[in-house]
Structure 1
Amino acid sequence: MAENALVEIDLEYGRTVVAALDDEQDPSMRPTAALWFLFADEDTWRLLLALPAMASNPPQVVYNRLIDILNRRVQGEISVDRVGLMPRRITLSHC
């Protein structure tokens, strides 16, 4: 079982990130899904975002846009390294 618990500061950061992206003028940067996911092998929680921009842009381009938005709109101690991007459509399965 993971020792690294998801805490209120993480949840608040996630809400702030999603709200900032929801307010973006570019609809391709508005999340269609967001969730905290525990990567058990690293014992690390990451905020996973499904963004339409992932369908038509390389991941590095979308990450750069995300970093720009977060730098302008989100204050906090949590690194952007804790945010992951995924395609708009993905199948999650239990392994």
Structure 2
Amino acid sequence: MDKKTLVNIDIEEGKKVLEALDDSNLSISSAFWFFLDDIEEWRLFFVAPDFDLVGPKKLYSKVQKILQDHKNEINIPLEAISLISPKDQLIGILKMAITTGPGISGIRFSGNVINGVLIKDAYIYRVN
């Protein structure tokens, strides 16, 4: 993947990861690709409501196992995934502009300023 370009295959792979997490009963309230301008690459973010309760180490271990269980269908490495708390500033900013409901959407969100913060580029599956 060109680090500066999110293409359809990346979008489909991200959707597969979200579906696998949903199928495994790992609670994901929000999911989106987000372009990190400072390092000029895309990262797949998942907001886990129990992030603060169980901690990131346990959640990353669960995600790693799910990716391993689906290694023949999913081609996204764990290094491309970020798990964040529902209290994280990034999700708070996105929620100011959009909510999607519990399903999987497909919303390109580019060049927007929310509460003084530039969202250069994002692809949203779910924001709750």
TM-score using structure 2 length:
0.63
Distance 2:43 2:87 in 1: 18
Provide the identity percentage.
28
Counterpart for residue 19 of structure 1 = 19
Worse overlay, 60-69 or 3-12 = 3-12
Is 2:65 aligned against 1:68?
Answer: yes
* Structure 1 residue runs without a partner (length 5+): none
TM-score using structure 1 length:
0.82
Worse overlay, 83-92 or 44-53 = 83-92
Distance 1:53 1:73 in 2: 23
More helix by percentage: 1
What secondary structure sits across from 1:78 in the alignment? Answer: coil
What secondary structure sits across from 1:56 in the alignment? Answer: helix
Q: What pairs up with 1:1-95 in 2 under 5 angstroms?
A: 4-25=4-25, 29-74=26-71, 75-90=73-88, 91-92=92-93, 94=117
Letter in 2 for 1:63: Y
8 Å CA contact 1:14, 1:47 repeated in 2 = yes
What RMSD, in angstroms, separates the aligned Cα atoms of the two structures? 1.8
Output one character per residue of 1:25-77: Cα deviation in whole Å (capped at 9) or x when no partner: 4xxx2210001111111111011000123021121111011100111125333
Runs of 4 or more off by more than 4 Å in structure 1? Answer: none
Distance 1:24 1:78 in 2: 17
Aligned length: 90
